[in-house]
Chains A and B, each alone.
Chain A
């Protein structure tokens, strides 16, 4: 199993959700996060005083899938989250050791 973690622009969430839905991937965890990469931050000016905002708001998605689906999920996120402008985010894929569904006690792929 793999854990796909993606940091995306907040405005692309619905597109990503639809793309994953089309792959029959039902379930993700979304966290509001702040960070920066190549985009750096931006400047805000209030009555002539300039503040550099280094951390920009992003969403972090976590999706656990079977190994066979991992590439397709990565591609779907890349295509649906892409705007082509700086700040589109990144996708990280991790090996996933163990999963348990709390309600039933199922483990492994059955718990996904």
Chain B
């Protein structure tokens, strides 16, 4: 009755183009293949980094997908998990195509690109089973690239919390594609890939600046540009099923050991410190958010303790390989209380609709973590001293890193939103939003 042929003539033509593209590849790859050298990989490091890659991928799907989906209304649950899943697919392709090359490789290791890496590794060309990236010298470059890919996946996915329940899917795909190439990849290069923020001495062990401040601020810009959900402040927008959010937050917590301990780049003592710090800070922040909320609104909520735990994970991220467990404990306590304040009060005070608190948790938590890394960095852990250990200047360096990141991501995110708006528009129609994004964007719904 509604059956139509989906195999059109243009579809056949597209397959033919793809086939010719693929047949051209081997020659290209062979021409650029590295001279065979005896691998000097450490099997323990390699095994741990492959495991970490899988753990961090699990943070986005299903972790973040469920964490966010549980907090939206039923009519938007599928659209919300779709955002994380589709971003996983899109970013994987972009990262393989060019993202990794511009973020993490240099044409000339003697004078690395200050602002951007090399374009030479388009489609991962020039990389083979024996290749090594000097940034992670004991593991295959494929593993390093795949590990970093999972960070590139989760960062844009985090932004979705800010505009949940009100962005067109086509707009999301365009925005995320441009954002990955113009915002994430450059900032990753500046901090980790040999760029200028790293050489200024900004401390960011696992991505407080690159991932969380970056995503949180981009989220705030999205919330401001898109405007509030229709009915915000008058309609009941209570979460449909927080059990999904608890499962999601728990997967995030477990996956975060790949994120933080994996950022040691090896299976070593530093990875062990990061693992312990991550666990302690997360628990401390879960408790501090819960108790703060208990004091203010008289009930210790489930959403409160899991939000606090995520805030703790965010805040300890930049610090995890620089501070002692006691430093991590204090960071967790501070992050839980301040992120609760940001999500529950600051947001109302300023009047924006950051639906799932991407800014309140990731932006604010990331800034707290980046600053406190400059305070609690302990030279006995990783050779870097913070203000508590006589190096007050580190706090200033952290502030510079935070400021550069905020400015770049805010300005570029706004520009990308404007381009996206001009191309396809940002929001669904009033009727589509009322009906829910599941039906209006994807033609599906969650059963009763």
Contact = CB atoms under 8 A, between A and B. Distances in A.
B343 interface: yes
B239 A46 contact: yes
A48 B297 contact: yes
A92 interface: no
Interface string A73-108: 000000000000000000000000000000000000
Nearest to B232: A49
Contacts of B340: 47-48
A22 interface: no
A46 B299 CA distance: 11
Contacts of B307: 47
Interface in A36-58: 44-49, 51-53
Contacts of A44: 238
B345 A46 contact: no
Interface residues of A, number: 9
Interface in A18-48: 44-48
Interface string B274-300: 000000000000000000000011010
Interface in B364-383: none
Residues of B contacting A: mostly = helix
B304 interface: yes
B299 A51 contact: no
A47 to B, nearest CB: 5
Contacts of A51: 236-238
Nearest to A45: B297
A45 B297 CA distance: 8
Nearest to B296: A48
Contacts of B347: 48
A15 B444 CA distance: 40
A45 B303 CA distance: 10
A52 B344 CA distance: 17
Interface string B220-247: 0000000000000000111100000000
A52 B303 CA distance: 17
B194 to A, nearest CB: 39
Contacts of A49: 237, 344, 348
Nearest to B298: A45
Contacts of A53: 236, 238
B357 interface: yes
A46 B238 contact: yes
A52 B236 CA distance: 8
A45 B169 CA distance: 30
A47 B236 contact: no
B42 interface: no
Contacts of B268: none
B301 interface: yes
B85 to A, nearest CB: 25
A45 B237 CA distance: 11
B72 to A, nearest CB: 11
B297 A47 contact: no
Contacts of B344: 47-49
A44 B303 CA distance: 12
Contact of A48 (B71, B237, B345): B345
10 tightest A-B CB contacts, nearest first: A48-B344, A47-B343, A51-B236, A51-B238, A47-B344, A45-B297, A46-B303, A44-B238, A46-B238, A46-B239
19 contacts: A45-B299, A46-B71, A46-B238, A46-B239, A46-B301, A46-B303, A47-B303, A47-B307, A47-B343, A47-B360, A48-B296, A48-B297, A48-B344, A48-B347, A48-B348, A49-B237, A51-B236, A51-B238, A53-B236
